[in-house]
């Protein structure tokens, strides 16, 4: 793909070089790529519904998250501002982007995409919907003073492109291996599509993206023991908020940093990426949306296959009249390298964020519960956090890398396989259960039907069936102004 050559008057007069090629590539893709994949468009509507449902699930279940959303100054409203779904808050799009992306991400139930880096492309919806709703309301109130009003189609196209940017970078670039958090890619992708949404020129878009690369980037420390904490739930909101702010700065005329990536002394690649190249392994199109993994089980994505395998084994144990942990001597887990590196934790687990990134905890709870693990099962107040049987089972688990699973995870199959074998105290061993494509994978035939069912389940605590039906219909109405969809999601009062 050929990127445009961003040459501004400032560059001509100051001798600045053209923007780094990958910055130009992103702008060219966002501004000039015409999407025509029916599959991507269909899955994008489900991705939008799924993300909104995850936000409503968080509002209902997490008082910790509810405590950090709302206007910067309590009690204030922003004229024509973004109306945060599930609430009566109306705020500026910068804080709105933080709040919606945080709500989507907080319970670790939104979609995911595998690769050298694992990330969650729907994290970008906070920036997209906050800006689109704000522009839609602004242009509705003064149509002669603005551009075209954003529609549902606008949001869908922006979502596909944000997924593609984030997902393609994830394929071959392991930010975690240099200590950076994957939400750096939310900032890059959200900046690129928000630039387009807000009507920036291509030169301004390049400037905004260059600043996104030049930012100080979050360390991954808040996802790794012993420092795991709730920041992993709002890190995406932080990235989305920054993306919107950078675009507003570029719109106000702030110049860019043309060699933000490549400068040999001070560029991102030298200072923050170990001197490695950034790889875009394929032309940007719509593949990521076509193959994104929908999280239909509340578990860190690398561990969902293990959860399903454990569920099958729990049924076998029950059929044989066996008890966990009493009758189990050992649980052997074969899985892919990323799971070993990210969610194989031993020792104490200090909070919900720590538990939901521990494969051993997930497996133990499923074997004891004899059902899939849910968001409440990770909480301090839940039934399992202090159950000694969980710790007894965790101590009996060993996790090893299976090279073929790693190859399939990194290759074209993009499977997230795990195999579990249970050895019993009487010396017998149950047959290994291997799950290669867990529910939510694009090759699992039940995935898309279950995504809409998950949305309805997440919404029903706050919306009637008639309201849910209208929201679904709106997501399929390409010509509907964005604010009309968001109005369907507003509640008159906030959840305490």
pLDDT over 60 (residue 396): yes
Q: Read off the pLDDT band of 17 (50, 70, 90).
A: low
DSSP 3: P
The two structure tokens encoding residue 306 = 């293990």
Which domain CATH number covers 344? 3.30.1330.120
User: Which pLDDT score is estimated for 461?
Assistant: 94
- Flag the least confident range among 9-13, 169-173, 229-233, 385-389: 9-13
**Higher pLDDT, residue 77 or 132:** 132
Instruction: Tell me the mean pLDDT in the region 334-356.
Output: 90
User: Which pLDDT score is estimated for 145?
Assistant: 67
Does 114 reside within a domain?
A: yes
Please indicate, yes or no, whether residues 124 and 165 belong to a single structural domain of this protein.
yes
Instruction: Tell me the mean pLDDT in the region 63-79.
Output: 93
Q: Read off the pLDDT band of 146 (50, 70, 90).
A: low
The string of pLDDT tens digits covering residues 265-315 is 999 999 999 999 999 999 999 999 999 999 998 888 889 999 999 999 999
Q: Which of 410, 435, 460 is the last residue of a domain?
A: 435
pLDDT over 50 (residue 59): yes
Please indicate, yes or no, whether residues 272 and 337 belong to a single structural domain of this protein.
no
Q: Which of 435, 469, 486 is the last residue of a domain?
A: 435
User: Which pLDDT score is estimated for 8?
Assistant: 42
User: Which residue in 57, 101, 64 sits closest to 298, CA to CA?
Assistant: 57
- Quick one: residue 272, left, alpha or beta (phi over 0 = left, psi -120 to 50 = alpha)? alpha
- pLDDT, averaged across the chain: 92
pLDDT over 50 (residue 6): no
pLDDT over 90 (residue 411): no
Please indicate, yes or no, whether residues 195 and 328 belong to a single structural domain of this protein.
no
The two structure tokens encoding residue 133 = 């709703």
DSSP 420: E
Please indicate, yes or no, whether residues 307 and 251 belong to a single structural domain of this protein.
no
Query: Tokens 């004899």 belong to which residue?
Result: 370
Q: Read off the pLDDT band of 116 (50, 70, 90).
A: confident
Query: H or E element: which one contains 163?
Result: helix 152-172
Instruction: Tell me the mean pLDDT in the region 87-114.
Output: 96
Please indicate, yes or no, whether residues 53 and 145 belong to a single structural domain of this protein.
yes
Please indicate, yes or no, whether residues 327 and 257 belong to a single structural domain of this protein.
no
The string of pLDDT tens digits covering residues 191-227 is 999 999 999 999 999 999 999 999 989 999 998 878 9
| Cβ atoms 113, 167 nearer than 8 A | yes
Residues in the chain: 496
User: Which residue in 71, 61, 72, 146 sits closest to 103, CA to CA?
Assistant: 61
The two structure tokens encoding residue 406 = 């790693």
| Cβ atoms 102, 65 nearer than 8 A | yes
Please indicate, yes or no, whether residues 240 and 383 belong to a single structural domain of this protein.
no
User: Which pLDDT score is estimated for 147?
Assistant: 76
Q: By three-state DSSP, how is residue 119 classified?
A: strand
User: Which residue in 349, 342, 360, 344 sits closest to 385, CA to CA?
Assistant: 349
Does 185 reside within a domain?
A: yes
| Cβ atoms 10, 261 nearer than 8 A | no
Cα separation, 26 vs 192, in Å, equals 7
Which domain CATH number covers 49? 1.10.4100.10
Does 220 reside within a domain?
A: yes
End-to-end CA distance of the chain: 50
Cα separation, 165 vs 457, in Å, equals 30
By residue range, what is the domain housing residue 365? Answer: 301-435
Does 450 reside within a domain?
A: no
Please indicate, yes or no, whether residues 261 and 396 belong to a single structural domain of this protein.
no
Please indicate, yes or no, whether residues 185 and 263 belong to a single structural domain of this protein.
yes
Does 473 reside within a domain?
A: no
Instruction: Tell me the mean pLDDT in the region 463-478.
Output: 98
Cα separation, 82 vs 97, in Å, equals 9
Q: Read off the pLDDT band of 350 (50, 70, 90).
A: confident
DSSP 227: S
User: Which pLDDT score is estimated for 2?
Assistant: 30
Please indicate, yes or no, whether residues 244 and 372 belong to a single structural domain of this protein.
no
User: Which residue in 42, 108, 46, 97 sits closest to 472, CA to CA?
Assistant: 46
- Say how many domains are in the chain: 2
Q: Which of 415, 435, 455 is the last residue of a domain?
A: 435
- Quick one: residue 347, left, alpha or beta (phi over 0 = left, psi -120 to 50 = alpha)? left
The string of pLDDT tens digits covering residues 157-184 is 999 999 999 999 999 999 999 999 999 9
Please indicate, yes or no, whether residues 221 and 348 belong to a single structural domain of this protein.
no
CB-count burial class (<10 Å; 0-12, 13-18, 19+) for 63: exposed
Does 59 reside within a domain?
A: yes
| Cβ atoms 298, 108 nearer than 8 A | yes
User: Which pLDDT score is estimated for 7?
Assistant: 41
The string of pLDDT tens digits covering residues 440-449 is 888 888 899 9
Q: Read off the pLDDT band of 15 (50, 70, 90).
A: very low
Please indicate, yes or no, whether residues 309 and 214 belong to a single structural domain of this protein.
no
Does 475 reside within a domain?
A: no
Angle at the Cα of 484 from the Cα atoms of 480 and 487, rounded to 5 degrees: 155
Does 179 reside within a domain?
A: yes
pLDDT over 50 (residue 480): yes
């Amino acid at each position: 793909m050929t990127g445009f050559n961003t040459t501004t008057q400032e560059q001509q007069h100051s001798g600045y070089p053209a923007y780094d090629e990958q910055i130009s590539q992103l702008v060219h893709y966002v501004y000039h790529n015409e999407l025509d994949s029916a599959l991507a468009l269909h899955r994008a509507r489900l991705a939008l519904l799924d993300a909104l449902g995850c936000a409503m699930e968080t509002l209902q279940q997490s008082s910790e998250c509810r405590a950090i959303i709302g206007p910067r100054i309590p009690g204030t409203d922003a004229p024509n501002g973004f109306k945060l779904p599930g609430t009566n808050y109306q705020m500026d799009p910068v804080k709105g982007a933080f709040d919606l992306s945080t709500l989507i991400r907080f319970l670790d139930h939104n979609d995911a995409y595998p690769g050298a880096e694992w990330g969650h492309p729907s994290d970008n919806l906070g920036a997209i919907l906050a800006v689109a709703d704000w522009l839609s309301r602004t242009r509705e109130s003064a149509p002669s003073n603005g551009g075209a009003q954003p529609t549902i189609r606008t949001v869908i196209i922006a979502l596909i492109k944000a997924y593609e940017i984030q997902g393609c970078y994830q394929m071959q670039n392991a930010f975690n291996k240099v200590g950076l958090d994957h939400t750096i890619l939310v900032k890059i992708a959200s900046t690129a599509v928000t630039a387009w949404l807000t009507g920036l020129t291509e030169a301004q878009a390049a400037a905004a993206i260059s600043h996104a690369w030049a930012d100080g980037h979050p360390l991954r420390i808040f996802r790794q023991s012993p420092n795991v904490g709730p920041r992993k739930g709002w890190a995406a909101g932080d990235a989305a908020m920054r993306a919107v702010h950078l675009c507003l700065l570029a719109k106000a005329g702030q110049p860019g940093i043309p060699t933000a990536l490549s400068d040999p002394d001070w560029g991102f690649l030298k200072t923050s990426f170990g001197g490695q190249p950034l790889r875009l392994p394929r032309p940007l199109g719509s593949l990521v949306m076509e193959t994104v993994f929908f999280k239909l089980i509340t578990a860190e994505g690398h561990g969902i296959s293990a959860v399903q395998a454990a569920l099958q084994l729990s049924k076998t144990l029950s059929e044989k009249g066996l008890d966990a942990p009493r009758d189990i001597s050992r649980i052997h887990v074969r899985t892919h390298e990323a799971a070993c590196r990210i969610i194989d934790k031993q020792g104490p687990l200090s909070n919900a964020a720590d538990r939901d990134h521990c494969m051993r905890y997930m497996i133990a709870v499923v074997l004891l519960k004899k059902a899939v693990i849910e968001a409440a099962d990770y909480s301090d107040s839940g039934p399992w956090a202090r159950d000694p049987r969980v710790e007894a089972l965790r101590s009996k688990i060993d996790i090893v890398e299976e090279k073929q699973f790693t190859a399939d995870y990194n290759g074209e199959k993009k499977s997230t396989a795990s195999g579990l074998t249970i050895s019993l105290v009487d010396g017998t061993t149950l047959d290994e259960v291997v799950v290669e494509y867990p529910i939510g994978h694009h090759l699992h035939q039940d995935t898309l039907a279950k995504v809409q069912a998950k949305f309805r389940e997440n919404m029903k605590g706050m919306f009637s069936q008639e309201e849910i039906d209208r929201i679904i219909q709106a997501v399929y109405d390409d010509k509907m102004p964005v604010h009309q969809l968001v109005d369907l999601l507003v509640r008159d009062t906030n959840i305490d």
